[in-house]
Structure formats: C-alpha cells, structure tokens
Structure 1
Amino acid sequence: MTLFILIALVAALVTFGLSLIVLKLSHRYRLYPKIRDRDVHTRPTPRLGGIAMFIGILAAFGFAYLISAQFAPLKLVFSNPQQILAILGAALLIVLIGVADDIWDLDWMTKLAGQFIAAGLIAWQGGVQIYSLPIGGLSVGSGWMSIFISVFAIVLVMNMINFIDGLDGLVAGVALIANGVFFLYSYLLVRETSPTNYFNLASLIAAILVGACVGFLPVNWHPAKMFMGDAGALLVGLLMATSAIAITGQVDPGAINRSQLFPAFIPILLPVAILIIPLLDFGLAVFRRVRAGKSPFSADRKHLHHRLLDMGHSHLHAVLIFYGWTAAASIGCLLYFVLPVYFQLSNWYATIFLVLSLLICTVVTLAPLSRRKAIEAASQLTPERAATKPIARLDPLDEASEIVEETT
C-alpha cells in the first residue's frame, strides 16, 4: 500500500507543477478558445490541463518502472512491456486528439475514429481484454468478440467521462472518488486471491489516476483557473476503462470462500456503479439527440450538470451532488465485498447503506424543486390576500390636512 501511495504522490506532484506551467504558457500565448453558448464559465479559460495530467501519469509509470527493480512483486506488472507501451501509446494518441479538439474544435467523426484506434491499440496490441467474466470463468466468446467488447467498453467510458465535463472540478473529483474506491477494491481483492503479490496492473493504473486528479484539482476547483479539456477527460476515461478491464482477467472472485454468490459480480457492478452518473448522462444525451434527428455527439446545454444549475443549485452545490452520487454508489458496492470478507457481516448492512445514501442524494438533488413550489404557492396566495384585504380609509381630518399641504 505504501508503494502505491508513493507512486500516486509522484503523479500528483508532477501534475500540479506542470499544471502551473501550462497555465502560465496558455495565458502568455492565448491558448484558449472562445466561450461557447453551452459553457458555464464567463471568461476565456485554458483547456490544456490534460497535457499536465498525461505527463504526470507518464512520470508515475516511469517511477514505478525504475523502482520495480528493487521490488520483485511490482516487477511482475512490467513483465509484459508491450502491454504498458500499448497503454501509454494509446494515452498519448488520445491526448493529442483531445488537444487538437480543444484548440481547433475537431468534428465528432474524427474524434470517434481516434478513440477507436486508441482503444484498439490497448485491446489488440496490449492484450487488455475481457477474456472472461469473473463469474466462474464464464467465457465471452471468440478472440475477436473479446476485442470488440473491450474496444466498445473503452470508447463508451471515454465518452461518458467526457460528457460530464462541464463544471469546475467535476470530472477530476468524480474520477478521484471513483478510482479511489476501485483501487481499494482491486487491492483488497488481490490480497484475498494472491496473498504473496499485492501488485497488479488495475491497482497501479487506479492509484496513478488518483494522484493525477489530486494534482490537477487545485487549479480546476471553482472558480477554475484551467480545464482538463477533452484531452484530460478522454485520458481519464481511457485509463479508467483499462483498469476495470484489467481486473477481470487477473482474478476470480468466485474462488474466494464466501457463501454468497453476489460478491462475484462486484468486478462487473463496481465499474458501472462508479460511473453511474456519467452513464446516465451519456444515455440521456444520446437518446435526446437521436430523437431530435441530430448526431449523438453534437453538443448541447441539456446535460445533467446543466439541469442541476437550472433547478436552482449553485455551481459548487451541483458539483458536490455529483460527488455524493458517485460516492454513494461506489462505496455501497464496495461494502458488498468488504463487509462479508473482513467483518463477517451480512450484505444487508451494505444494502441499508446504499439505499439510505441514495435516498439522501435524491432529497438533496430535488430540494430546489420543493423550494420553488413553496415560493410559487406563496406568490399565488399574495394577490388573493391583497384582494380580500379591506382598503384602509383615511380620517376626514387627515384628508383635509393633506389637501392644505398640497395647496401650500
């Protein structure tokens, strides 16, 4: 665990330092686009934070490789250098596409083609594929089907993360919470299945992503000085999907001696749970645009974060609500694994936590609607009260005094 924290710290420090440099250069050379109609911010803001995040991630991978010579368990992660190079090569490609889009605003077909190439590089050259589902080793089909499903999953997650990137600190915070929970799950799961080797590719990627998000969040917090842009959002989605796919091919939760079958589904449910809000936003956006006869990747101002602002939430409250939903869903699913294994408690406790936390998030999310209805009801009652209230009449002496004052 200490080694993972050290690697994450390297990613955080490098990302933060380079974020300040990129910010200064962006303002010096005016490397920022004009404000669009769908944007929430009111002043031009650089969007090249993804460059700093990528270099921070690259530095963390390099640091991990250097110290792997002294730590044999970590060396196993780098036993397949082609896999690591494929992941970093795909990350570089997606960052270049994102930077080009942030500066020149590429068309959606070009961006989508680049996403498929990057995902194919990871699945085909890197071998990071969904070979089997972690439910008794259930096969997903032929080799080509495995590649197809893996590529589709990576592209889907990239776009899900990119779709919610609309508020200060939103993606960085959501990814920080999601990857933090996923890191704990992958780390604890590997400890159960392989007590002599805690190191695996999924945990390493998750830890590095946590560090990169921690390093970038200070310059991205409201009011944001810089955005991660498409380069950063697509990069985060790419690595999150890669981490989730990697864990399915390395461990089998069914091998753990537990009486319940449900925990075996955690490797499938947890990646969905930590991305529940991006998944919902992505699905609604695609349905909305296709129904209107538009491209599913055409931009609009009807995402969930826009709707929260329109409901009456402040910028900060909308971001915190996203954090809350992400934490509730991801931690709730994690408890289904942790409570039976480490505390010998029933999964009912996890269910109670999940239901209560989601209920609290729902109440907080819908609170402005209740306030709005109360205000509307009060405004409707006011004219009625004014109409029924008797008109006060002045005393004749007062009327006379007023007339005298007017004439003088």
Structure 2
Amino acid sequence: MGVRDAVGAFALAAVVAWLATPLSARLARRLGVIHVPRERDLHERPTPGLGGLAILAAVIAAGLVFLPLQREYLGVLAGAALIALLGALDDRFDLHPVPKLMGQLAAASVPVAAGVYVDHVTLPFLGALDLGPAGPPLTLLGIVAVVNVVNWTDGVDGLAAGVCLIAAVTFAVLALSLDRDAAGVLAALTAGAAAGFLRHNFHPASVFMGDAGSNLLGLLLACVAIQGVLKTAAVVALLFPLMVLAVPAADATFVIAKRIKYRRPVYAPDRWHFHHRFANIGFSQRRTVMYLYGWSLSLALLALALRFVPYSDEAGHLRPGWAALLAVFGAIAVAASVYVVYVLEILKFRRWRERDIQRRVETGELPALSREAIEREIEREIETGEFEAVRGEPGS
C-alpha cells in the first residue's frame, strides 16, 4: 500500500462521486429536499441537496477496495456512514441543534471506539505529551469541532468541496511521506470524492452537498489528521492540521466571536461568515471561492514546506539557504492572510463609507461632494483612523 493505492483510491472515488451526484439530486427532488433561497443564502434558485450521499457512496466504494479492513478504518467508514445519514435527516427535517450535536457525538464516537484517537502529541521543543485517559474524549470533541467547522464553510457554491479537496490532498501527501500509508489512502479517497462532487457543485451549482456532505467531509478530514499526522513523531505534527484547516477554522472562530459579542446563540445562523462578507462588498460567488481557495492553498503549501524543506540539520542547526526558502513559503502564506484581511476589512470600509457619505449628501446632511473628494476623505480616514462614529456595524 502506498502512492499507487492512493492514486487509485482518488480516481475511483472521483468517478463514483461524479456519476452518483446527479442520482442524489434526483433523489433529493423526490424527497422534497430542495434548498430554497433564504435571506442569508447566496444562491438565487431552488437547488436540490443530498449531494453528500453521493460523496458517501464514493468513500465507501473506494474504502472497501483500497483501505485495509482493519478495526480502525472500518470504524472510520461506519462513523462516516452514520454522520452522513444524520446529515441527510437534518437536510430533510431541519433538526434542532441539540439532537444534531448529540448525533454528531454518537457518529464520532464510532471511530474513536475503534482506536482512532490521539494518546499523545509531539510539541516543538517539548517533545511528546502523554494525554493518558483524556485522549479519547479530547479526540471526540476535536472530531466534532472539525465537523462543524467544515459545515459552517458550506455556504457558497463549491467552497466546502474545494477547501476539503485542498486539505485532503495535502494530508495525503503528508501521511504518505510519514509512512502512514492507510491514512494517506483515506485522505486520497476523501479528496477524490470531493473532486468528483465539485464537478457538479462549482458555481452555478446543480446540487448542494448539504449537512450530509459537510458533516461527512469534516469527520473524514479529522480522522485523516489523527491517523496520518497526529499519531506520528514528527516535531511539527501538531502544526500540520492547524495550517491545513486554518481557513475554515478562522471562519468559525470569527463567527463564534461575533455571536458572543452580540449575545446571540452560537448555533444561530447569520451572515458573518467569510463568504457572506465577500458578498457584502460585491464579490461574485466564483471570485469569493477563488480567493478562499488561494488562501487555503498558500497555507497548505506552507505545511508541505515544513515537512519537505530541510531547513535544519540533525543537530537542530539552521541551514541558511533552505531556511530562506521556507521563509518564502511563510511569507506567501502571511501575505495571502493579510490580503484577505485587507479585502474584508479595508475594502469593506471603503465601500460602506462611500455609500454612507453619498447617502448623507443626498439627504442634505453634507454639502455636495465630487467622487474625487469622497475618495480623498475616505483615504484620510483610513490613514488617520479618524472618522465620524456611526451606529451599527458596517457591512455586517
């Protein structure tokens, strides 16, 4: 088992997902699982869901062919089936958050009970940290956290599938390089299933994955991270999943912070996700997705560089040339992150402030101003941080 099996698993899963997705859309129409646009949604027409069932079919098919039929991986497949079916029920009946969370915990407990859990982590400069009996429950919570992080990312055509594709390919390369071949195959078939589905889900999407798909992909990525990275002795093992899943994790962290700040239920839907904020400043769905793909890819490349660039020798001394190359990858990731923040915050402020000034000119609160004068005033406000206080929050 190795690279050849991983490539085969990717190909089989991609083909099955590609062929099965139209069938899942047909099933969704028969069952009435149609996503009608709501106020917070970005799609413009009713779209069938249950695409996650096609992803599940691809995962099961490729898994039974290419994965070792060991207890751990049978547990992963069983947990995947359970959480996808739970998601399908949620897509059909819109379950309350509490039973949905209980179902996620139950599904995640299946692979954990089968041995997919972290009993120690390797920390830079500190070595191995034994988690003891806290390992399984902490792993359970971590899997459910990743499930919901991915679920919240699924709000615009192709975003969740594409980000999961990038993450799964990265995990596959990392796992195979660390001689965790089975985990590498699991990551590869996850990537293949996401790729086959993405063919139908990229804007304009003909089908949505729904919670059946996002929950499934989240659980698979969490299990891949555990089996393929966290269980190894690699010094930067803990950093790999943090970087590979940084974009959906950052989105979830920002949204939770906003909801807490404004005293809203953490589970209540809103328009504060990154994809909503891009839409608020006028980005199309495709442009939004490509920006977030690029950000995810820059962080994935940094994770791969940390694995493959020999920036230090066995004694721990830096090799200047290789360290400089690693610094380049780090700079690219930082630049991408800063640029996204610039787009979301500075550009959002510019457009909101321009509309606010124009509104006040129209109502007579301000004298008539040319477009050039408005732009000069906004530039001054950005440079100095001095502008008139307003009520509410711009672009929220």
- Give TM-score scaled by structure 2 length: 0.82
User: 2:168·2:191 contact (CA, 8 Å) conserved in 1?
Assistant: yes
User: 1:332·1:351 contact (CA, 8 Å) conserved in 2?
Assistant: no
Query: Structure 2 CA distance, aligned partners of 1:184 and 1:277?
Result: 19
User: 2:89·2:95 contact (CA, 8 Å) conserved in 1?
Assistant: yes
Deviates more, 1:22-31 or 1:209-218: 22-31
Q: Hey, what does 2:185 align to over in structure 1? A: 204
User: 1:131·1:249 contact (CA, 8 Å) conserved in 2?
Assistant: no
User: 2:147·2:216 contact (CA, 8 Å) conserved in 1?
Assistant: yes
Superposed structure 1 runs of 4+ greater than 6 Å apart: 341-344, 377-382
Deviates more, 1:338-347 or 1:25-34: 338-347
Q: Hey, what does 1:285 align to over in structure 2? A: 255
1:328 to 292, 295, 298: 298
Pairing of 1:9-408 with structure 2 (within 5 A): 9-28=11-30, 30-64=32-66, 77-78=68-69, 81-124=70-113, 126-135=114-123, 138-143=128-133, 145-190=134-179, 200-248=181-229, 250-253=231-234, 264-265=235-236, 267-340=237-310, 345-360=321-336, 362-363=338-339, 366-367=342-343, 369-370=346-347, 373=350, 376=354, 383-384=368-369
User: 1:35·1:44 contact (CA, 8 Å) conserved in 2?
Assistant: yes
For residues 267-324 of structure 1, what are the alpha-carbon distances to aligned partners after superposition, in whole Å with 9 as ceiling and x for unaligned?
2111111111111121122222233333211111211110111122221111111111
Deviates more, 1:280-289 or 1:305-314: 280-289
Aligned-pair distance for 1:88?
A: 1.4
Query: Structure 1 CA distance, aligned partners of 2:23 and 2:241?
Result: 33
User: 1:15·1:215 contact (CA, 8 Å) conserved in 2?
Assistant: yes
Unaligned 5+ residue runs, structure 1? 66-76, 191-198, 254-263, 387-408
Amino acid at match of 2:205: A
Query: Structure 2 CA distance, aligned partners of 1:101 and 1:281?
Result: 22
For residues 110-147 of structure 1, what are the alpha-carbon distances to aligned partners after superposition, in whole Å with 9 as ceiling and x for unaligned?
110011111222112x111111113476233322x001
Deviates more, 1:102-111 or 1:357-366: 357-366
Secondary structure in 2 aligned to 1:36? coil
1:3 aligns with 2:5: yes
Amino acid at match of 2:55: M
Aligned-pair distance for 1:252?
A: 1.7
Amino acid at match of 1:296: V
Q: Hey, what does 2:375 align to over in structure 1? A: none
Aligned-pair distance for 1:85?
A: 2.2
User: 1:309·1:318 contact (CA, 8 Å) conserved in 2?
Assistant: yes
Secondary structure in 1 aligned to 2:304? helix
Q: Hey, what does 1:399 align to over in structure 2? A: none
For residues 354-395 of structure 1, what are the alpha-carbon distances to aligned partners after superposition, in whole Å with 9 as ceiling and x for unaligned?
213431453366358459748949978994569xxxxxxxxx
For residues 133-171 of structure 1, what are the alpha-carbon distances to aligned partners after superposition, in whole Å with 9 as ceiling and x for unaligned?
13476233322x001111011011001000111000001
Aligned residues: 352
Secondary structure in 2 aligned to 1:313? coil
Query: Structure 2 CA distance, aligned partners of 1:248 and 1:215?
Result: 25
Unaligned 5+ residue runs, structure 2? 314-318, 372-396
Query: Structure 2 CA distance, aligned partners of 1:59 and 1:251?
Result: 27
User: 1:169·1:220 contact (CA, 8 Å) conserved in 2?
Assistant: yes
Aligned-pair distance for 1:348?
A: 2.8
Secondary structure in 2 aligned to 1:346? helix
Query: Structure 2 CA distance, aligned partners of 1:376 and 1:249?
Result: 48
- Give TM-score scaled by structure 1 length: 0.79
Task: Output the aligned Cα RMSD.
Answer: 2.7
User: 1:7·1:64 contact (CA, 8 Å) conserved in 2?
Assistant: yes
User: 2:312·2:323 contact (CA, 8 Å) conserved in 1?
Assistant: no
Secondary structure in 1 aligned to 2:309? helix
Query: Structure 2 CA distance, aligned partners of 1:215 and 1:293?
Result: 40
Amino acid at match of 1:312: G
Query: Structure 1 CA distance, aligned partners of 2:264 and 2:138?
Result: 26
User: 2:311·2:322 contact (CA, 8 Å) conserved in 1?
Assistant: no
Secondary structure in 1 aligned to 2:310? helix
CA pair 326-385 structure 1, distance change in 2 beyond 3 A: closer
CA pair 250-283 structure 1, distance change in 2 beyond 3 A: closer
CA pair 167-342 structure 1, distance change in 2 beyond 3 A: farther
- Identity across the alignment (%): 30
